[in-house]
Amino acid sequence: MLFIYILFVITSGSSEWRKDPELEEWLRLNHPEITKCSVTQKVSTKIKKADLSTIIANHVPVVLRGVGQEEKWPALKKWKNKNKFKSKYGNTVHETRWPFGARQVGILARNSTIGDFIDNMDNNYNHAGVMFSAANNSIIMDKEWGIPKLFGEVLHSPLFSLSMSKEGLAFHNHGSAWESVVVGRKLFLFLPPLSSPPPPDVISLLQQAAMFVAKPLHFIKHYWKSLRALLQPLVCILEPGDAVYIPCNMYHMTFNIGDTMAVGGSLQKSGDNCPRDIHAVSYTIIQNSQLATESRKNSHFATESTINKKKQADLYTATKVLQYNVEANIKYGVLLAQQGHTQHALKWFQEVAERFINLSDKHILDYIPLAVIIELLAEYVVGVVSVHSSGEEQKEGYEIALQLGYKSLQFDKNNKKAIKTTEMISKILGVELGSDTKYTETNCELQNEEYFLFQLKSAIL
């Protein structure tokens, strides 16, 4: 009984953020090159503000060692105690994201209190995701948090992040940014922008590894050695008090070694003189592709009076570059329906669903985000056939949407939106949903959590 009590105190009542010595040892034995920083390292006190423009212009990552200690960030000492942090911020609600890049997949997120999120971390809940906070929240506005003085005058959209060991973001890119580690250790892997379609051997690796979707630990275990041999990425592990400058459009993956807390943000005018990158170009095309104008049906599924053929071709090309970008794939499917190609649109949505399901079969994509994405595809199939078809074709579309709804619930039986969608379609088709139907089956037990594609809400709906 004494042993059980001690174990409970250690695992549940500890005031310390958890380290991960087993992971550190595994990295040291299997990937010693990862533990050696190959990124340019500087002492922040030796860098003048005038040097920042030069650093940005060089488009190479730079690590500022010990900047937090030099600038005496209060957070470094104060938030070593997890219980104190939880006591102050535990009831605040912030966004928790699934760890994908906005360009590469989309922003898949839900709201959660910091206290609940930390409880999930402590319970080793491997679907906890990564907690992010926007610029106007109480955490970032507290002056005790570390914003390197070097970036202070050009700071834009600061962010706070918190996640458990072995979590992190898959390879992604964005405008120039910085990040400072406050608690834990964080590994960064860097790759240069893709200015043009890469060579066939690189394309093969990117597709095989699904590196813009794969969770960092899976990628390191199975594909790191191939990537290192082919592209020679830069690597560096940041310690508490370290900061890193991330150049515009440079791909990077993050990986936590122990529970990790960090602050960061983008830099103003980060789009100036950015290196060309095919993901950035494709993402701009996706954002600029409007589904429909205001119409007599007042529906984003309604047919546009004119359709720009070049935009259609550009959007299709973007879906080939960003093949897992949910927004791009949905927009293209709806555009096909707007042009009267409903059958082609239905086939497209099915192909997109299979593309994501195959990632799960390879253990690359987790069940919860997959369930949300498949359910969203089902919703758009319903919208397409409701406006653009009738009779048997419409019935076929509803049946496809129902099967997608079933599939979503196989991956997460508690997905409320999928339950609502399947119930709605079943009523349309006159199908009864009993306790023995497909959607009640599941091969995993998951907590009841709802995720939403916020990016799609603003861009499409």
- Separation between Cα atoms, residue 217 and residue 30, nearest integer Å: 13
- Separation between Cα atoms, residue 59 and residue 250, nearest integer Å: 8
* Enclosing H/E stretch for 370: helix 367-388
Q: What pLDDT score does 362 carry?
A: 77
- DSSP codes, 158-184: EEEEEE-TT--PPSB--SSEEEEEEEE
Q: What pLDDT score does 443 carry?
A: 36
pLDDT mean over 412-440: 73
Tens digits of residue pLDDT in 87-118: 988 898 888 888 888 899 988 888 888 999 99
Residue type, 235: V
Residue type, 283: Y
Tens digits of residue pLDDT in 293-328: 333 334 455 444 445 677 778 888 899 899 999 989
Dihedral, CA atoms, 128, 129, 134, 137, nearest 10 degrees?
Answer: 10
Give the number of other CB atoms < 10 A from CB of residue 2.
Answer: 6
Neighbouring-strand partners of residue 42: 64
pLDDT mean over 119-125: 83
Evaluate whether 425 touches 402 at the Cβ level (below 8 Å): yes
Evaluate whether 79 touches 160 at the Cβ level (below 8 Å): no
Give the angle subtended at the CA of 140 by the CAs of 137 and 145, to the nearest 5°: 155
Helix, strand, or coil (residue 16): strand
Evaluate whether 55 touches 151 at the Cβ level (below 8 Å): no
- DSSP codes, 58-121: HT--EEEETHHHHTT-HHHHHTTBHHHHHHHHTT-EEEEE-S--TTTT--EEEEEEHHHHHHHH
pLDDT band at 428 (very low <50, low <70, confident <90, very high): confident
